[in-house]
Amino acid sequence: MMITSYKQFFSATFKAPIHLSARLTLKCGFNANTVTLFALLLAIAASSMLMVTENFLWFAYAVAGIGYLDLLDGAVARASNTCSRFGAYFDAMCDRIVDAVTVFAIAWVSGLWPLCFAYVIGSLLVSYAKSRAAMEVSVSNTSWPDLMERTERFILFTAILLAYGLFPDFLIAGYSILVWGLVVSCALIYLTLVQRWHRAWRLLQ
């Protein structure tokens, strides 16, 4: 499947730098849950700064850093052999908060409340569609290679913010890069939700 191949390529590309970062993080005395907490605090700080400064370029850099920390916490847990159910739960909860906080800040600054609301709701439903199915049947992370999981959403989200931060006045058919980016993101997110509904329907028959 094309999506599976893409994910394998992405994983292989970032495996070495993430592994090196994980080793350095452990040498500094930080564990996986601490890295997760750092990502959450960075999201809150960056979102607060965006609401004050309205600087989307610096916000894009901060969001990229948050994404890197999100990849790093799991690598730290594996490298230290400290993977735990609480760690996975804590990471998932913080991820949802990060999504909500960052998009809320964008809505506050841009006034794009309907689009941002649709984005957040779709993102939460994509995550819930899988976790709720896992309550009924056994579900593995590798058996649901859907289009816009959190990593893909975060990459696209960061790219949109970076493009808008660099070219805030660039318009396509009268609308900014931010508007078009959110529209495309929402379309892909809800397509992914349909994918997961369909997959759950087949599993639960």
Q: Parse the chain into domains and list their residue ranges.
A: 2-203
Question: So what's the pLDDT on residue 137?
Answer: 81
Can you name the residues that pair with 171 across neighbouring β-strands? 176
Question: So what's the pLDDT on residue 149?
Answer: 85
Question: So what's the pLDDT on residue 9?
Answer: 57
Tokens 């948050």 belong to residue: 66
CA distances, 199 to each of 92, 149, 188, 202 (Å): 21, 14, 16, 5
Question: So what's the pLDDT on residue 19?
Answer: 85
The per-residue pLDDT for range 70-112, each reduced to its tens digit, is 989 989 998 898 889 999 999 999 999 999 999 999 999 999 9
How far apart CA 161 and CA 186 sit, in angstroms, is 15
| Selected residue with higher pLDDT from 120 and 7 | 120
Poorest-confidence range of 14-23, 77-86, 154-163? 14-23
Question: So what's the pLDDT on residue 2?
Answer: 42
Cβ atoms within 10 Å, residue 131? 10
Average pLDDT score over residue span 20-26: 89
Per-chain mean pLDDT for the chain: 90
pTM of the complete model: 0.89
CATH architecture of the domain 2-203 equals Up-down Bundle (1.20)
121 pLDDT more than 80: yes
The three-class DSSP label of residue 171 is: strand
Kindly tell me the burial class for residue 65, based on how many C-beta atoms sit within 10 Å of its own C-beta (0-12, 13-18, 19 or more).
Answer: middle
| Highest mean pLDDT (candidates 2-6, 13-17, 79-83) | 79-83
